[in-house]
Amino acid sequence: MGLVLRFVPAPQRESAVAWGALLSELRETAFEHSDARVTQAKAGWWAEELLRFGKGEARHPLGRDLPAGLPWVELATALARVAGEGERAADPAEAFEQIAPFADALARLEALWFGARPEPAAVASVAVHLLAQRLVHGRADDDAARVPMNLFARHGLTPSALGEERGEPVVRDWSLALRGHAPEPGPGMVVFRRLRAGLDREQLAYLQRHPGRPWQPGPLTVWRSWRLARAG
């Protein structure tokens, strides 16, 4: 993401960097499943910290010099809820339903952070981002990257296969489904969201073609991001 933040207009660039860092922290906190106790501890700490953000009592450096009037209470509540979600989704609809409160709270706060109004497309984009990044980073974890169970059943596999070559058809299917839910980046989104949505769509398209390889942004990524930044 840092590669394309240079295209954010200069007056918003510092805020975009700060928001990107906070989004990354909260995403990792919500979906850290290497140890359930670690997840609960991190989520509890961050939920408390978000409440402190709203009172101007931040301990974390990212809580300094924040825009005023942001809905930190709603985000703290949604973070605690999604971090405590232990049930595997039966199908894509349930996977999106499970993260909907968190995605909605993030999208709302993000829009207000940049002085805009929350848009439904931005909420959908945040939800896709959360699940896409979980697919990239969580295939070997206990939650099987939050991939719906019906996709494993389709290929006669169990979640333990996800981190192996035989699990690649599941990765393809889930990447396809996620990209199908991803809205086109448009002028109704703040610049940060347009850029993030473009990266997510490109990464998901790559995973469909190469489910076993890591994606790296290239020159075309930079060019597309430049165009998205100018689309507003």
163-202 pLDDT tens trace: 999 999 999 999 999 999 999 998 889 999 999 999 999 9
Confidence of residue 85 (pLDDT cuts 50, 70, 90): confident
Mean pLDDT confidence for 8-24 = 95
CA nearest to 192, candidates 115, 134, 132, 133: 115
Please give the Cα distance from 90 to 164 (Å, whole number). 21
Confidence of residue 232 (pLDDT cuts 50, 70, 90): low
Longest dimension (CA), the chain: 52
User: Is the model's pLDDT at 128 over the cut of 90?
Assistant: yes
Residue-level pLDDT at 231: 84
Please give the Cα distance from 64 to 48 (Å, whole number). 15
5-230 has CATH 1.10.600.10 classification: yes
The pTM of the full predicted model, rounded to 2 decimals, is 0.95
Please give the Cα distance from 226 to 228 (Å, whole number). 5
Mean pLDDT rounded to a whole number for the chain:
94
Mean pLDDT confidence for 56-66 = 92
User: Is the model's pLDDT at 35 over the cut of 80?
Assistant: no
Q: Enter the tokens of residue 21.
A: 């860092």
Confidence of residue 84 (pLDDT cuts 50, 70, 90): confident
Q: Enter the tokens of residue 142.
A: 């206990």
Mark 36-46 as b/e (b = at least 16 C-beta within 10 Å).
Answer: eeebeebbbeb
Residue-level pLDDT at 34: 66
Residue-level pLDDT at 43: 93
C-alpha dihedral sign at 73, 77, 83, 88:
negative
CA 9 from centroid of its chain's CA atoms = 22
Residue-level pLDDT at 33: 65
Helix (H) or strand (E) holding 19: helix 10-30
